[in-house]
Amino acid sequence: MSLSNRDMADIFERCADMLQIRGDNIHRVLSYRRAAETIRALPRDLRVIASEGGLTELKYIGKTIAAKIDEMLETGELDFYQRLRAEVPEGLVDIMHINGVGPKKAKLFWKQLNITTVAQLQAAAQAGELAALSGMGTKSQQKILAGIEALSRQTGRASIGDALPAAKAILAQLMQLPEAQQGELAGSIRRGRETIGDVDILIASDKAAPIMQRFVTMENVARVLGHGPSKSSVELLSGLQVDLRVLEKARWGTALNYFTGSLAHNVKMRQIALEHGYSLNEHALSPVDATKAIIEDAEKALCDSEEKVYAALGMQYVPPELREDSGEIEAARAHELPQLITRADIVSDLHMHTTWSDGKQSIREMAEACIQRGHHTIAITDHSRSLGIANGLSIERLLAQADEVRQVNAEMGDRIELLAGTEMDIKADGSLDYPDEVLAQLDFVIASLHSGLGQGREQITQRLLNAIRNPYVRMIGHPSARQYPNREEVDADWDAVITAAQEHETVLEINANPLRLDLKPELARLAKDSGVLLAINTDAHRIEQLDLLDFGVSNARRGWVETRHVVNTWSSEQLRQWLSNRP
C-alpha cells in the first residue's frame, strides 16, 4: 500500500508516543514528533520531494528520519515502528492521549495493572482501582473518566478555522480555469458551522473534464477517492476531504440550494415545493400537475439562482447560516427573517493581547493594525496575575501598562481610541483576580474562566454570576470556555447567567477564534432574545488573528444575531457613553 504524507506523519507521531511511554530520551522523542509536524504541514507530496532528493532540506528532517521516509515510500512499512509495537502495546498510545493521563501514567497503569486498552482503563477507573496507585487519587481518577467520555465524543471533524482557508484556496485555483463560469462553497462550510465533516465545492461549467482533472491533480491531494464527469472527491494531505460537483449554469440555484443543506432545511423546502405544485431536487424546480406527474417544461423548471428558488416558493431568501431548520423556514414564509449582522457593521475590537502578557505584538503595533482594519476603538486586555503560564500582569505591571495604553492613545490622536483594560481571571474559588480599587482605574474590564473548568454546575454558575454582578466587569470573555477539540464547555445554568447579564448590563462575548466560537450560536440566540448585550471580539494574540473576526460574525449570524445586539457596531460616542455609565 502506498502511504500518504498524513499516514507517514501518523506513524512518526506514534513512534514518538511509544518512545515516550517507554521512557526514552526526550530529544529522541521530539525528533520524531517534530518530523511528524513538518510532514503534516507540507503542501507537497513527500514522494515527489524524495524523488528530487530534497528530504533532508526539510525542517527537522535529518538523515535518520529521511532514511525512514525512504523506507516507508518503498515498502509501505517502517520496521522501526513494527519493532516498537512489539514492545509497547499500541492501545497505550490512545491511553496517553486521554486528557489527564500522559505517557508516565500510561506506563504506570500498564506496569502496575497490566492495562493496555482504553476500555480496560475505564473499567479500572470505575472499579476505583486507579485511585490506589501512587501519585493518583479519587480526583485524578474522576478526571480520567471524564477524559474517556470526552474522547468518545470526538468525531474527527475539522475546525472551520483550518477548513475554510483550504477550501477558499482550492475554489480560487479552480476558478482560474477558463471553463469555470461560477463557483461557490456549499455544505456545512457555507453554513458557517464550527466544524466541518467534508468540504463541498460547486462549479458551473459546460466542460467539466478539465476542471475535474485540475482538481484531482492539485499539489496538496493525498488520495483521489473518486473521479467522475460530474462529481469527484479527494483527500488532502491535511486529511481534509473535499467533494467537487460541476453542473450547468442553468441549474445553479437548485444545485447550490440542495448542496448547501442542511438536510433538515432541504426536507422542509421540498415539502413547501410540493404544496406549491413543484417537485424540488438538485436539478430543477419542476412543476407537477394534479396527477403528480412532472410537466415536461424544461424552461420553466430551471432556477439559475437561489433567490429564484426561494421566490418561487413565496419565501424570503434565507442566508446559509440560518439553514438548520430552527425556525428559518417559517420566518422566511412570513417574511420575518432577521437582518443579520455583517462584518462591515463591526467598528471596534474589545479583546486582544500584547507582549505585556502572551501576545506577540506591542500595544502600538496592535493599534496600527486595527486602524487598517477600520476600527474606531480597541481595548487592550492582557491576562491577569493568577494566570502565570500566560505571563499575567501583577497590579504594578497592569497600572504601568495602562499608562502606556493612554500614552499611545494620545499619540494616535483621532485615528483610533485605545481603552486600557484587562482580561481578568475568575479564580477557581470564585473571587476576581484584582480588587475593585484597581479595576476602577481601568476603562474596560473583561472577566473570564480559565481554570477550575471541571467544577460542578452550581460552582461554575456562581463564579460567572459573581463576575457579572461586579460593577466594574463590563464583559464575560468566552463564557463557556470551550476549545475545540480538547475542551468541552463548562457546565453552567445558562438561564441564570443570561438573566443576570441582562439585569446588570454585562456583555457576553462571542469569541471569534475558530477554536472557541463561544458563545455558541444556540446560546447567543437565547442571550439576544433575552435582551443581553453581545460583543464579537477576536481575542487576538498576534496581528493576523485580528482577521478571525469573520468567524465570529458567521457564528453570531448562526445565532440570529442582528447589528443592534452587538456593542462592536456602536459609534465611538455611543460606546463611550455606555462605558461612562457606571462607576
Helix (H) / strand (E) containing 427:
none
Rule CB under 6 A: is residue 188 a binding residue for ligand DGT? yes
Among 197, 287, 452, 485, binds ligand DGT (CB under 6 A): 197
Query: Can you name the residues that pair with 379 across neighbouring β-strands?
Result: 419
3-state SS class at 225 = strand
The torsion angles phi and psi of 6, rounded to 5 degrees, stand at -65, -40
The residue from 147, 161, 183, 187 that contacts ligand DGT (CB under 6 A) is: 187
According to CB under 6 A, which residues from 295 to 334 bind ligand DGT? Answer: none
Distances (CA, A) of 366 to 371, 485, 582: 9, 28, 27
Element of type H or E holding 57? none
Of positions 448, 455, 568, 569, contacts Zn ion by CB under 5 A: 448
**259 near ligand DGT, rule: CB under 6 A:** yes
* CB closer to Zn ion, 232 vs 448: 448
Residue pair 319/339 in contact by the 8 Å Cβ criterion: no
Omega of the bond prior to 394 within 30 degrees of 0, cis?
Answer: no
Per CB under 5 A, 454 contacts Ca ion: no
Show contacts with Ca ion in window 557-576 (CB under 5 A): none
| Burial 290-307, CB ≥16 within 10 A → b, else e | eeeeeeeeeeebbbbebe
Q: Does 357 bind Zn ion (CB under 5 A)?
A: no
Give the total of residues touching Ca ion (CB under 5 A): 5
In the list 13, 94, 194, 200, the residue contacting Ca ion (rule: CB under 5 A) is 200
| R_g (Cα) of the chain, nearest Å | 27
Cα 393 from Cα 1, distance rounded (Å): 54
Omega into 338 within 30° of 0, i.e. cis? no
Based on the shown chain and the rule CB under 5 A, indicate whether residue 320 belongs to the binding site for Ca ion: no
* Binding status of residue 253 toward ligand DGT by CB under 6 A: no
| Shortest distance (Å) from residue 460 CB to ligand DGT | 30
- Between CA 77 and CA 320 the distance in angstroms is 45
Q: Count the residues of the shown chain that bind Zn ion, applying the rule CB under 5 A.
A: 1
Q: Which of 261, 320, 392, 421 binds ligand DGT (CB under 6 A)?
A: 261
Contacts of 154 (CB under 8 A, 6+ apart): 485
- Minimal CB distance to ligand DGT: which residue? 261
State the Cα–Cα distance between residues 536 and 424, nearest whole angstrom.
Answer: 18
Closest by CA to 511, choosing from 478, 544, 482, is 478
Mode of pairing for the β-strands spanning 348-349 and 278-280: unpaired
Residues 554-583 contacting Zn ion, CB under 5 A: none
Residue 188 or 377 having the CB closest to ligand DGT: 188
Q: Based on the shown chain and the rule CB under 6 A, indicate whether residue 198 belongs to the binding site for ligand DGT.
A: yes
Q: How far apart are CA 187 and CA 233, in angstroms?
A: 14
Q: Closer CB to ligand DGT, residue 262 or residue 391?
A: 262
Candidate ranges 54-62, 74-82, 154-162, 448-456; the one touching Zn ion (CB under 5 A): 448-456
Rounded to a whole number of angstroms, the minimum distance from the CB of residue 538 to Zn ion is 12
Which window, 237-245, 292-300, 342-350, 401-409, contacts Ca ion (CB under 5 A)? 237-245
Q: Coil, strand or helix: which one is 347?
A: coil
- Among 17, 184, 243, 304, the residue binding Ca ion under the rule CB under 5 A is 243
Residues at the interface with ligand DGT (CB under 6 A):
187-188, 193, 196-198, 200, 258-259, 261-263, 266
Residues at the interface with Ca ion (CB under 5 A):
187-188, 198, 200, 243
